[in-house]
């Protein structure tokens, strides 16, 4: 998988889009949008003492949206040959249904933002070499108490092209790389500790830093078991904070006034959370996993301020949903595959760490603290009851010193109080996969939360 693969794909994408454009133009009487995409994914599993195992998958296809009068249709077909474009067109026309408005954005809204993509992936053999370095670093940092069980590298390149009947064209070549690491005690029967890492720059990855991050947390849970109860401070590790934000993410897209759950969570001054929390959907951050010059419908990529110092500001909406619900179109469509109809969704939901504190400062400032390290189940949020449920494993800390490991703790309570007691966020932002899109979160310090031991 090389840079040449991407350029080869762009030629085929343009050819498929040109075929679709020619057929649709000859059919007359319709507006249209053609989206073509190709991706190559390579998965490499590295385990100490074993040869690496590799799997490579290629996927490509074309999607078409049409509007004819008050009717609109959508269909997709796999492949980039001329027949695929024709099958997508036939499918879209066959399912055209009447809508109260034209769901295709007008050309005046379409544009491509400037983006920076380091889309070249490392050469073959990089994963094996990096895995060997990680294994040595984990053993050294843990003093021989931990060993690397395996690493799973997921590397992929993708190319896409969006073209409309009015002449707008946007194209992009990108890459993504992630790493799943698993460590376990070198002796005995302790459990496996897993961590997922978004790798923004494979060439700049520091195996020692990755090993220290995972080893530090894995060692915390090897100590004696301790429990506690009462009103204590909570520190949510980035993965736990990200799972909470994933559960909250439906609040950041458009709702009808009658169904909108956000109103139940606002206090009398319109505040959603404490001032320490600022949230954005950042489609311009070159370090974020999902990048591109525009959203899934062609509106320019943007950085949308969702919550500013605890106060809701804007919400995401695709052009179609914006029209339906009376929102201004800002570019909130997400389209992860050529098979997807562009829909409203978060891309890179992240916490602003501009005023964050180093994690060590959060630990020292918290006093008696339950440090939640790992979610053991999805974080559940009941918007009707404005409540939450977190099941996780964690560590008890007294003024930053470890008292013991709490294997399973379940926390329930008022969601408004939980969000209103966020005292600080860290600077250790990390990205995690959500159902659709990704979430970037640092450690989060929350004051005075009830814990039952």
Count CB-CB contacts under 10 A for residue 144.
Answer: 11
Rounded mean pLDDT of 146-167?
A: 93
Mean pLDDT of 320-330: 87
> Which of 121-130, 151-160, 277-286, 300-309 comes out lowest in average pLDDT?
121-130
pLDDT digits (tens, 9 = 90+) for 25-64: 988 779 999 999 999 899 999 998 888 899 999 999 999 9
Q: Is the pLDDT of residue 234 over 60?
A: yes
Position 117 confidence tier, pLDDT thresholds 50, 70, 90: low
Domain boundaries defined on the chain? 3-220, 230-451
Q: Residue 372's CB: how many other CB atoms inside 10 A? A: 28
pLDDT at 394 over 50: yes
Residues whose CB falls within 8 Å of the CB of residue 209, separated by 6 or more in sequence, listed in order: none
406 Cβ neighbours under 8 A, 6+ residues apart? 225, 226, 227, 228, 370, 393, 394, 395, 396
Concatenate the DSSP letters of all residues of 54-117 into one string: EEEEEEEEEEEEEEETTEEEEEEEESSSHHHHHHHHHHHHHT-EE-SS--SPPGGG--------
Quote the pLDDT of residue 327. 84
Checking if the pLDDT of 137 tops 90, the result is yes
pLDDT for position 363: 81
Rg (CA), the chain: 24
Residues 445 and 234: beta-carbon distance below 8 Å: yes
Which is more confidently placed, 421 or 401? 421
pLDDT of residue 276: 96
259 vs 2 pLDDT, higher one: 259
Conformational region of residue 37, where left means phi above 0, alpha means psi within -120 to 50, and beta covers everything else: beta
Q: What integer pLDDT is reported at residue 427 of this predicted model?
A: 96
Residue 444 has a CB neighbour count (10 Å cut-off) of 26
**pLDDT, mean of residues 16-24:** 94
Give me the CATH code for the 3-220 domain, please: 3.30.2290.10
Q: What is the pLDDT of residue 77?
A: 97
Predicted local confidence at residue 1, as pLDDT = 42
Q: Is the pLDDT of residue 182 over 70?
A: yes
Q: Which of 162-166, 255-259, 288-292, 344-348 shows the lowest mean pLDDT across its residues?
A: 255-259
- Tell me the pLDDT tens digit for each residue of 201-230: 888 889 999 999 888 888 877 777 877 777
Q: Is the pLDDT of residue 444 over 90?
A: yes
**Given pLDDT bands bounded at 50, 70 and 90, which one contains residue 5?**
low
Q: How many CB atoms lie within 10 A of CB 193?
A: 22
pLDDT average, residue stretch 79-106: 93
Tell me: pLDDT of 389 over 50: yes
Look at residue 190 and tell me whether its pLDDT is greater than 80.
Answer: no
**pLDDT attached to residue 2:** 46
Q: Can you give the pLDDT at residue 398? A: 84
Asked if residue 414 has pLDDT above 60, the reply is yes
């Amino acid at each position: 998988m090389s840079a040449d693969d991407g350029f080869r794909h762009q030629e085929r994408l343009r050819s498929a889009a040109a075929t679709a454009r020619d057929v649709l133009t000859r059919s007359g009487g319709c507006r249209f949008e053609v989206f073509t995409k190709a991706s190559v994914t390579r998965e490499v599993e590295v385990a100490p003492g074993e040869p690496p195992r590799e799997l490579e998958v290629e996927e490509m296809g074309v999607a078409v949206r049409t509007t004819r009068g008050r009717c609109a249709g959508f269909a997709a077909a796999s492949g980039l040959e001329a027949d695929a474009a024709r099958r997508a067109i036939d499918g879209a026309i066959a399912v055209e249904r009447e809508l109260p408005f034209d769901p295709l954005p007008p050309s005046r809204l379409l544009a491509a933002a400037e983006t920076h993509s380091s889309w070249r992936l490392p050469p073959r053999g990089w994963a094996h070499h990096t895995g060997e370095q990680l294994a040595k670093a984990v053993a050294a940092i843990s003093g021989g108490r931990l060993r690397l069980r395996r690493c799973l590298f997921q590397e992929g390149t993708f190319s896409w092209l969006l073209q409309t009947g009015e002449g707008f064209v946007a194209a992009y070549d990108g890459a993504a790389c992630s790493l799943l690491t698993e460590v376990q005690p070198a002796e005995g029967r302790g459990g496996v500790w897993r961590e997922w890492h978004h790798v923004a720059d494979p060439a700049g990855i520091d195996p020692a830093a990755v090993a220290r991050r995972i080893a530090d947390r894995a060692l915390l849970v090897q100590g004696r078991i301790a429990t506690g109860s009462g009103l204590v401070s909570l520190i949510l590790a980035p993965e736990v904070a990200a799972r909470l934000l994933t559960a909250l993410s439906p609040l950041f897209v458009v709702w009808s006034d009658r169904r909108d759950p956000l109103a139940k969570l606002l206090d009398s001054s319109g505040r959603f959370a404490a001032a320490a929390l600022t949230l954005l959907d950042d489609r311009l951050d070159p370090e974020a996993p999902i990048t591109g010059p525009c959203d899934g419908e062609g509106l320019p990529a943007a950085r949308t301020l969702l919550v500013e110092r605890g106060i809701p500001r804007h919400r995401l909406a695709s052009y179609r949903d914006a029209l339906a619900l009376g929102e201004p179109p800002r570019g909130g469509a997400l389209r992860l595959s050529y098979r997807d109809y562009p829909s409203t969704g978060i891309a890179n939901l992240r916490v602003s760490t501009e005023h964050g504190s180093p994690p060590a400062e959060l630990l020292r400032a918290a006093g008696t603290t339950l440090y939640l390290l790992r979610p053991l189940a999805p974080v559940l949020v009941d918007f009707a009851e404005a409540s939450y449920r977190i099941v996780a494993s964690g560590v008890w800390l007294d003024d930053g010193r470890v008292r013991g490991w709490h294997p399973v703790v379940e926390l329930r309570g008022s969601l408004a109080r939980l969000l209103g007691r966020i005292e600080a966020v860290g600077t250790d932002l990390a990205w995690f996969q959500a159902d659709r899109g990704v979430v970037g979160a640092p450690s989060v310090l929350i004051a005075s939360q009830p814990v039952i031991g």
